[in-house]
Structure 1
Amino acid sequence: MNLLDIKNLSIELTSHGENILAVERVSLALKDGEIRGLVGESGSGKSILAQAIIGVLDDKWHVTADRFHWQGVDLLRLPIEERKQIITKDVAMIFQEPMSCLDPTNSIGEQIEEALDGSKFSGYFWQKAQQRKEAAAKLLHKVGIKQHDICAKSYPHQLTNALCQRVMIAIALAKQPKLLIADEPTASMEATNQAQIFKLLESLNKLKNMSILLISHELEKISHWTDYLTVMYSGQFVEAGTTEQIFNTPFHPYTKALVASTPRTSTNLIKKSLLHTLPGSIPSLQHLPIGCRLGPRCPNAQKKCVLAPQVESFQGHQVSCHFSHRKEY
């Protein structure tokens, strides 16, 4: 049984009396202990999908799905409060900008202590307070912050972006979630810090058997750390499979373009020559193409592409394209 099993999830935005289909019939499944990458250009709907999973979208967004199961429980059939209790207990998320997510008026230690489960502490109130401090220090140490005493007393503006991201991971781990969603966890970081964060997430996966949904617009960066990849474009599902399948035998023209633009597959290029790219840019929500949204940029677009393609599966390798079975794909 999958830990998370979503089928044909759509997210509609109501803006100025107009309904915009930001995410259209996207399916996503995660197994227990799996690291899955969710990849696509900025604006492809990755973050909105993640926010829909944890239930933080406001009333302007309407979420529907044929199936939205968490450990076999259909969340969409549950009352909102009951759904929130399940998700907040089992799912945690770290966001792109840790500095903006942390409270500037509270110390790091206070914010981690607030995230801890109070039912695990016993004794008088001063004993519980001491236990909370010790638990917060252990979490900071677990995410690789050696000077946890100094860090706990500091405020977010006194720390680097990399340290703040580690603090966000510590807060996410406070309730021992079964699924950790990491939305661009290394954005604006130096290469050394990026590698440290990814290694930390990998160790959490191996030691705690924690499932991780790793969101990024850089395919090359996360491919080293994931077991499976799901590719999105402009709110639509494009392709999914093992990381090896996506890199070695991509079916969809968009996935092919992503793979071709990575240094790993561009070793034969002449120095200082341009990497492979698709013409144009991702469409805005107000001007979405009908049918396959890649159509205006796709080098192999045909009349049939004005209809949304169905998802086909080839030995676990899924693709949403009318012509994926053809040799040229």
Structure 2
Amino acid sequence: MNLLDIKNLSITLQSGSEPIQAVERVSLSLKEGEFRGLVGESGSGKSLLAKAIVGVLDEKWKVEADRFHWQGRDLLRLSVEERKKIITRDIAIIFQEPMSCLDPTNTIGEQIEEAIDSEQLTGFFWQKAQQRREAAVKLLHKVGIKKHSLVSKSYPHQLTTTLCQRVMIAMALARRPKLLIADEPTASMESANQAQIFRLLASLNQLKNMSILLISHELDKISHWTDYLTVMYSGQFVEAGTTSQIFDTPYHPYTKALIASSPKFQAHWQKKSRLDTLPGSIPVLQHLPIGCRLGPRCPNARKKCVIAPQIRSYQGHQVSCHFSHKGDY
């Protein structure tokens, strides 16, 4: 049984005279212990999908799905209180700007201690404060922060972005979640610091059997760490499969363009030569194309593309395209 099982999820913005469907019929599944990457350009709906999973979208967003299951339970059919209890216990999320997520008025130690679940503490009430401090130190060590005393007494503005992101991961781990969603966790970091965060996430996946959904717009940087990849474009599902399937035999024109735009995956790429790119840019929410939203930019577009394609599966490798094989043209 899948840990997370979402089928045909749509997210609609209830704003202005006409509602806008920001995410259209996207499917996503995660097994226990799976490390999956979610990839797409900025504005493709990746962060909206993550926020829908943890239930932090406000009332102007309407979330609908044919199936929205967590360990077999349909979250959309539960009351707000029941859903919040499950998500708080089992799912954690870290966002791309740790500085804006941490409280500037409290020390790091106070914030981590507050995140620790009371159910993990034992003994009398006067013993629990010491237990919280000890648990906070262990969490800091777990995410690779050795100078725990200095960091615990510091405020967020006194730490680097990388240290703050490690603190956010420590706070996410405080409740021992089964699924950790990392939304662009290495944005604006240097390459060395990015690698440190990715190694930390990989160790959590391997040593703790924690499922991880890693969201990024940089396909080349997360390909080394993930077992599976899901690609999105402009709020639509594009392609999904194992990481090797996506890179060895990409079916969708958008996935092919993402791979072709990275010199890391071009064996014959010459220095100073022009990278392959798709013409145009991702459409704005107010002017979304009908059918396949890649249509205006797609080199393989046909009349049929004004109809949204159905998902095809090739031995577990899924693609949403009318012309996923050359014989389809």
Aligned counterpart, 1:289: 289
SS in 2 for 1:15: coil
Equivalents in 1 of 2:259, 2:280: separation in Å? 17
Aligned counterpart, 1:114: 114
User: CA-to-partner distance for each residue in 1:97-134, whole Å, 9 max, x for gaps?
Assistant: 00000000010001001110112223343321111001
Equivalents in 1 of 2:17, 2:79: separation in Å? 27
Question: Which range moved further: 76-85 or 162-171?
Answer: 76-85
Aligned counterpart, 2:103: 103
Gaps of 5+ in 2: none
SS in 2 for 1:254: helix
Equivalents in 1 of 2:66, 2:309: separation in Å? 17
Q: TM-score normalized by structure 1?
A: 0.98
Aligned counterpart, 1:36: 36
Aligned counterpart, 1:151: 151
Aligned counterpart, 1:62: 62
Equivalents in 2 of 1:100, 1:274: separation in Å? 37
The change in CA–CA distance for 1:66 and 1:328 in structure 2 (over 3 A counts) is closer
User: CA-to-partner distance for each residue in 1:301-329, whole Å, 9 max, x for gaps?
Assistant: 00000000000000000000001132589
SS in 1 for 2:49: helix
What residue identity is the alignment partner of 2:203? S
Aligned counterpart, 1:184: 184
Aligned counterpart, 1:225: 225
Q: Is contact 1:309–1:321 with CA below 8 Å preserved after alignment? A: yes
Q: TM-score normalized by structure 2?
A: 0.98
Q: Is contact 2:263–2:269 with CA below 8 Å preserved after alignment? A: no
Equivalents in 2 of 1:199, 1:56: separation in Å? 28
Equivalents in 1 of 2:212, 2:155: separation in Å? 28
SS in 1 for 2:312: strand
Q: CA deviation at 1:14?
A: 1.0
Equivalents in 1 of 2:291, 2:33: separation in Å? 35
The number of residue pairs the alignment matches comes to 329
Q: Is contact 1:233–1:293 with CA below 8 Å preserved after alignment? A: yes
Q: Is contact 2:93–2:182 with CA below 8 Å preserved after alignment? A: yes
What residue identity is the alignment partner of 1:119? E
Aligned counterpart, 1:314: 314
What residue identity is the alignment partner of 1:276? D
Equivalents in 2 of 1:198, 1:88: separation in Å? 24
Task: Within 5 Å, give how 1:82-101 maps onto structure 2.
Answer: 82-101=82-101
Task: Within 5 Å, give how 1:1-329 maps onto structure 2.
Answer: 1-327=1-327
Equivalents in 2 of 1:145, 1:267: separation in Å? 38
Question: Which range moved further: 124-133 or 137-146?
Answer: 124-133
Equivalents in 2 of 1:29, 1:46: separation in Å? 14
Q: CA deviation at 1:266?
A: 1.8
Question: RMSD in angstroms over aligned alpha carbons?
Answer: 1.0
Q: Is contact 1:140–1:148 with CA below 8 Å preserved after alignment? A: yes
User: CA-to-partner distance for each residue in 1:212-255, whole Å, 9 max, x for gaps?
Assistant: 00000000000000000000000000000000000010000000
SS in 1 for 2:275: coil
Equivalents in 2 of 1:202, 1:105: separation in Å? 32
User: CA-to-partner distance for each residue in 1:230-285, whole Å, 9 max, x for gaps?
Assistant: 00000000000000000010000000000111222223122111211100000000
Identical positions, percent:
78
Q: Is contact 2:99–2:164 with CA below 8 Å preserved after alignment? A: yes
Equivalents in 2 of 1:66, 1:286: separation in Å? 25
Gaps of 5+ in 1: none
Q: Is contact 1:36–1:227 with CA below 8 Å preserved after alignment? A: yes
Q: CA deviation at 1:16?
A: 1.7
Question: Which range moved further: 2-11 or 270-279?
Answer: 270-279
Q: Is contact 1:266–1:275 with CA below 8 Å preserved after alignment? A: no
